[in-house]
Every structure is written in structure tokens, then in C-alpha cells.
A and B are shown apart, each in its own frame.
Chain A
Amino acid sequence: MTTATVAAEPDFYHEKTRFKGIFGWIFSTDHKRIGILYLIAIITFFLTGMTIGVLMRLEMLNPENTIVTAQTYNMFFTLHGIIMIFLVLIPVFPAVFGNFFLPLMIGAKDVFFPRLNLLSWWLFMAGGTLALVSLFLPGGAADTGWTFYVPYSIRSNTNIIPALMAAFILGFSSILTGLNFITTIHRMRAPGMTWFKMPLFTWSLYATGWVQVLATPVIGITLLLVTIERLFGVGIFDPTLGGDPVLYQHLFWMYSHPAVYIIILPAMGVVSDIIPVFARRTIFGYKFIAYSSLAIASVGSLVWAHHMFTVGMSNTGMFMFSLLTFLVAIPSAIKVFNWVATLYKGSIELEVPLLFMLAFIVQFSIGGLTGLMLGALSVNIHVTDTYFVVGHFHYVMFGGTGFALFGALHYWFPKMFGRMYKKRPAFFGWLFMTVGFNVLYFPMLILGYMGMPRRYYHYLPEYEYLQRIATVGSWIMVAGILLLLINLIVSLRRGDKAPANPWGGRTLEWTVSSPPPMENFHEIPVVTTGPYDYSEYEKLSSDQS
């Protein structure tokens, strides 16, 4: 691969742009600047969602009232869900890391539709602002849960319409990003970069792009219909007008289950890219990982009704959805086994990004296995709508994607900002976050199995002990997260200057300087080797043994 470009040349932060100051950013079509804009917005939303989450845990400290009223608690869990899912988890990997690194990884100068990319960001900000503004409008924040189930979402007097419209606009933004990435991957790979020489993060963005394009419109139309129903009283889902609320649930999950694959697939791609770098080994089973992304994306689109086993469905339907749910576990497990096999006999360097990946593997496995329990019909009926479900999806969404997010942030921080972070605080931040996470969510699995229902404001005294452990866990985790973020912010100015390739990565983004120049590559690189070519290390280790 080519060496780093000359240091004297301005990076994309300092390159002259058409507009000055902030306008040079919010009107920039440069994929790297758009990625940074998304990062700032999403970290802000994440901190908002996290604060609400901490307040919810604080309320659960006592079986009776602690700090807020029941209505406020309803708003809390609704907002926590809307913010974390629609504003953080769904956009974070495609919009932040996909934007910044997809063109770099495939040797392109930008995405295929740069102006459309900027439009996606504007739509995202419009949707995000609308969601946050709806909190302060008279009427109060939505209190339906992030699922907006009818008929309550038609009857509730809170600001449902702004929240629905926000989700609709965010969906539109997500569709445009997915469309852009699919086209980019098809048309803009550097010469020599065949499909099977692409980094696996790129593969996962490709699979995710298809889910974004094909699943998001379903929730778009569904939320639009609820809005029309609220505004004009048209009978569509309202049972008093003959509508079928269960049909709403089907349509909602037709998107929202694939959405969890929008959330987890790129995270898996990041894991597949980071592990080989710190194990100094070629990824084990490259093609299996690439194909399993596509398998998860396609089979995962057919399992939606496993969220609805208790609402009434034919036995054949229940059987099929349960079976398909079990089938999705196969490609997911293939990935986990391949990651572990990659680590085996590698020359492991325990840097912070790898620590996050190891936590990901363990926590995602717990999340996946509890997911299988939920996919089994008999167990599902026992634990539906309990803390078991809450624990399960936090293990996948946060223990998986959330940890991959922090791992990716530390892995690519030198490339994005041109500085190294301080390693000791980052290590302790990881430690607190991991310990806190498990102290917070593992008790939820037990509580759910004991029968603690989700979204309840009061609970029976017998749950108090575990509820309190979980609340303490939330404090430890937040301490870790804050330590990690403060460390990164301090390192922006005080960190050592980062070299072009601090970790010894083999993918193309490490061949340009840190931070990259405005046009990425002066000459489009010609790719001859695969993305994880560590043959010299592997030769070394086999010589020693």
C-alpha cells in the first residue's frame, strides 16, 4: 500500500472552503465534514437520552414514588426510546462512521451523491430538532412508549404528532443515506477492489443500506397514517371505526425489527474490522462474515411478528415466526465464532478498541442467547413485556452497538481528529462502563424472569433488592462513559499528534494522513491485497512455533 501523503498539505479541517466559518461546515458536501457534524449531533442526543435513562433508574430506586410522577415516568421511557433508537442507534454507524470512512475505505473521493448526503444531514437535524421541541410544546412530551401503539397513540393528549413527524423525517434521512451508500459501493470502488477485497465494515454498510431502503418506508407510511388518523379522524387503525390495532403492530414491526439489524449489522462490521488489526491476523472466514451480513439482513426482515406472540395469531404463524427467529441466530453465531477464531493464535495487543470488541462479543452473545429464549414460544409467553425483554435488547443494542460505537470512536479517533487519546483514562473508562453495564442490565434479566413488568412505575417490594443493584450499576456505567468522553475531548487539544497509521491497520483509510486531506486521495489507489493482509506476522508466529 502507498505511504502517507506529505505532512505540509492542509487537512480537511483547514482546507479553504466556499463558505466561511460554520457555513463551511453546514453547507459542506465533504463526506468527512458531514460525518463530524453527525458525530457532534449524535453524541449530544446520546447524552440527552442517557440522562433520561439515569433519571428513570433513579426513580426505580424505591418501590413507591422517588423523584417524578407516573405521567413524567411515562414520558421518560418514551423519550429515552425515541432518542436512543431513532436519533442515536439507527443513524450512528451509517451516518457517522459510514460517512467518514466508507469513501476512504473503498478508495473514493466522496460518496456518489454528495449533495444528497448533505440533504440527509439537514433532514436528520430537522427531525431531531422536532423531536426535542415536542418536549417543550404545550401538551407535554409523548407518553405512548417509542412503539406508538394504537389505539392509545390516537387518544393520548400529548404531543404525538410532532414525535411521529420527527420519526417520519428521520426515516427519510435514513433512506437517502442507505441509497447513497449502496450506489457508492457499486460504482466507486477503487480499481482492483473487488467485492471480496472490500473491508467487512463496507460489506455490513451494504447490507444495512438495503434494509434502510426497503424497510424504512413501511414505518414511514404507518406513522403517517396514524398522523392522518389523529388529524382528520380517518378510520384506519382505530377500532371504534372498524380498524385493527394488531395490523398496526404488524406494520410497525415490519420496519422496527429490521431496524435492529440496521443498528447491529454495521456494529458487527466494525468488530470484524478492528479484531484483525489488534490480533495481527487475517480475519477468519471472510466470505462467511460477508455473506452472513446479507443473510441476517434478508432473514431478519421476515421475523417481525415474534414481537407479537401474545396478541393473537394463528399457530402456523407463531410456528413460522419462531422458526425464522431461530434461523437468524445461525449467521449471527457464524460471526461470533469467526471473531473468536481470528483471535486464536493471534499476536494480541490489548488496546482500548479491542477491549470494547471483547466486551461486545460477550455481551452480544448474552443478548443473542436471551433473544433465542424470547423466540421460543413457551418461554416468550412467560416473559413477554417484562424486564427480561428490556435486559435482552439492552444487551444487544447497548452491550453490542453501544460498545461498538465507543470502540469505533477510539479506533478511528486518531484518523478523524489527528490526535491520540490518553490510554490510561480510556482503559479505566472502559472498565467502569463494562462493569457498570453488566451490573445494570443483568439484574433486569433476573427481575424479568421473576415477573417484573416493563414500563411500570411502582413495583412490589420483593423486586427492590435487584432494582437497587441495577440503579447502582447505572451510576458506575455513567461514570465510565463520562470519563471516556471527557478523555476524548481533552485529547482533541492535548493529545499527541497521530501518525497516519497508529494501529497498523491494513485498510485504505490508514494510507492517508491523519486527519485526511480534503480530497482523500491525490491518486486513486490501486488495490492488490485483501483488507486484512497480516501475512508477515502470521509467518513470524508460525516460524516461532
Chain B
Amino acid sequence: MTTTAMEHSHRDDVGSRMGLWLFLFSELILFGGMFIIYAVYRFKHPEEFRLAASELDSFIGTLNTIILLTSSLTVAMSITAIQRDKKYFSMALVVTTLILALAFLVNKYFEWAHKISLGIYPQSPDLVNKPQGEILYFGLYYVMTGLHALHVIIGMVVLAVMVVFIANGKINQHTFVRLEAGGLYWHLVDIIWIFLFPLFYLIQ
């Protein structure tokens, strides 16, 4: 029985993963609260939401969706790479993920900047004079995509740390639970975008 005890106090990948999944549940519910607000307001103002949504550029939205999905692929591949002991390939894949994430944020920046230059931002004279449904739509647009972008930045920091861990050997062929955790977090960021994209850009 002491062997079990040793495992308990030293290393238990199943437990580490369980903790991470619980954290992801709570993150999902954090966004869940916002999705509820979106659903309620869309139900109350269907026409104004439709009008406001037509002002978004679904090309940039689609581009960003492709970028994020590809980044999820590269981060998943990096785990397979480290399992096969291809250290530098794995690092290159995580770095690719980071570059894609940066591209996503640059797109987002131009998208927001464009909206702001059109006078659509909270408390702007143009927005305040619009119908209430549109004010709510753009309020939610900024808050939800903003909070998502914040998660992208957090995910980038986490993945950057993973690159360091792979480089100094803390993540290796036998110990890769941390990279898995970083990857799972990145998939969460991805899956939230998968819901944000149709809700804001596609449903019209």
C-alpha cells in the first residue's frame, strides 16, 4: 500500500488533469453567464440585434475563426510531438500557436479600431442615439469579445511558459501533463470563440 501513498504525494497526472477540468468548467460557466444575457436580450430585441449584426465584418470573423482553429491543431500536435520525443519540433509547434494567437489579436485590434472610428463605442454620441437593442448588442460585443481576447492573452502567457519548460526539459517525453493542461486551456479559448463567432457574426 505504500506505493499508492508514494504516488499520492509525488505525481498523479489523473488528479492534475481533474483539477484542470474543474477549472475549465468554472471558466465555461463564467462565459455561460454572458451567453444567458445575450440570449435574453436577443429574445427581447430580435430585429435590432439583426440590424446591428449586419454591421460586423463576417470576413474578419471567418478569418479569425480559421486562425484559432489552426492554432488549436498546432498545440495538439505539439503534445504528440513531445510524446514522440521530438523536443524542437514540439517547441516550434507551440511557437506557431503563439504566432497565430498574435495574428488573431492583431485582427481583433483592427476590427475594434474600425468600429471605434465609425463612432460605435460605449457612450459615443452615435451609439447612444441608436435603438436600445443595438446599444445592448454592441455593449455585449465589446464585453464578450474583449473578455475572450483577455483569455487569449492569458493563454499566450501560459503557452510561452510551456515553451520555456520544454526548452529546459521540465516537460519531456514522460512528463507532459503541464503541456496538456496548457493545450486544454487553449482549446477552451478556441471553443468559446466557436460560440461567439456565429452569435455575433453569422446569425442575421
Residue numbers of A with Cβ under 8 A of B are: 108-110, 112-113, 116, 175, 178-180, 182-183, 186-188, 191, 213-218, 220-222, 225, 228, 232-236, 241-244, 247, 251, 254, 523-524, 526
Contact = CB atoms under 8 A, between A and B. Distances in A.
Given A225-B143, A523-B2, A524-B8, A214 B25 contact: yes
B117 interface: no
B81 to A, nearest CB: 27
Contacts of A254: 33
A191 B26 contact: no
A243 to B, nearest CB: 7
Interface of B: 1-2, 4-5, 8-9, 12, 14-15, 18-19, 22-23, 25-27, 29-34, 36-37, 40-41, 44-45, 122-123, 128, 131-133, 135-136, 139-140, 142-143
Contacts of B132: 235, 241-242
Given A225-B37, A247-B37, A254-B33, 16 more contacts: A187-B14, A191-B4, A217-B29, A218-B29, A232-B122, A232-B123, A234-B139, A234-B142, A235-B132, A235-B139, A236-B37, A242-B131, A242-B133, A243-B136, A244-B41, A251-B37
A110 B8 CA distance: 10
B27 A217 contact: yes
A236 B25 contact: no
A234 B12 contact: no
Nearest to B9: A109
A460 B75 CA distance: 68
Given A109-B9, A217-B33, A251-B33, A235 B19 contact: no
Contacts of B143: 225, 228, 234, 236
B184 to A, nearest CB: 14
Given A218-B32, A524-B1, A183 B122 contact: no
A364 B15 CA distance: 36
B192 to A, nearest CB: 13
22 contacts: A108-B8, A113-B19, A175-B23, A179-B22, A187-B8, A187-B15, A191-B5, A217-B29, A217-B30, A220-B30, A233-B123, A235-B132, A235-B136, A236-B139, A241-B128, A241-B132, A241-B135, A241-B136, A242-B45, A242-B136, A523-B5, A524-B1
A235 B34 contact: no
Contacts of B5: 191, 523-524
B135 A235 contact: yes
Nearest to A222: B33
Contact of A244 (B22, B25, B40, B128): B40
Given A108-B8, A234-B139, A524-B2, A213 B22 contact: yes
A44 to B, nearest CB: 28
Contacts of A218: 29-30, 32-33
A247 B5 CA distance: 49
- Which of A109, A186, A235, A523 gathers the greatest number of chain B CB atoms within 10 Å? A235
A233 to B, nearest CB: 4
Contacts of A116: 19
A526 B1 contact: yes
A251 B22 contact: no
Contacts of B136: 235-236, 241-243
A221 B25 contact: no
A179 B1 contact: no
Contacts of B135: 235, 241-242
A211 B27 CA distance: 14
A285 B12 CA distance: 34
A251 B38 CA distance: 13
A244 B131 CA distance: 15
A234 B34 CA distance: 14
A182 B2 contact: no
Contacts of B2: 523-524
Contacts of B31: 221
A112 B19 contact: yes
A217 B22 CA distance: 12
A168 to B, nearest CB: 11
A221 B30 contact: yes
A504 to B, nearest CB: 27
A183 B8 contact: no
